[in-house]
Amino acid sequence: MIRKRRPSKQMISLLGALSDRQWRHGYDLMKETGLLSGTLYPLLMRMTDQGLVEAEWREPAQAGRPARHAYRLTADGYALIQDIALHDGMPAAKAILP
């Protein structure tokens, strides 16, 4: 995978929130990263297009609720955040790696 541009702070923050590779809902990601919906969703769309994030409809925990979209990092997304931490020396990225 060739990374052409240095990821933005928002993107690193989102990668960090997704780094546990669990399925996460958009609202949870907003609360954790502090990103607003107008930043989060375009970012998720772009990262999904780039193959860094995968999205899936997940059945709700409580019956009677509508299904929600959930997101998690792909292997490429995880490789990207490792790459950022190892080569660019970004403290934010280092902090989120195990």
Judged by CB under 8 A, the number of residues near other proteins is: 18
Considering beta carbons, is residue 66 or 89 the nearer one to other proteins? Answer: 66
Binding of residue 97 to other proteins (CB under 8 A)? no
Residue 60, token pair as written in the block: 């709700």
The angle formed by the CA atoms of residues 93, 35 and 14, to the nearest 5 degrees, is 30
Binding of residue 55 to other proteins (CB under 8 A)? yes
| DSSP label at residue 61 | S
Binding of residue 38 to other proteins (CB under 8 A)? yes
Among 3, 16, 32, 41, binds other proteins (CB under 8 A): 41
Among 22, 27, 51, 87, binds other proteins (CB under 8 A): 27
Residue 26, token pair as written in the block: 């958009």
- Cα–Cα distance for residue pair 84/73, rounded to 1 Å: 15
Is the dihedral angle over the CA atoms 1, 7, 36, 29 positive or is it negative? positive
Binding of residue 26 to other proteins (CB under 8 A)? yes
Q: Where on the chain is the footprint of other proteins (CB under 8 A)? A: 25-27, 36-42, 44-45, 55, 65-69
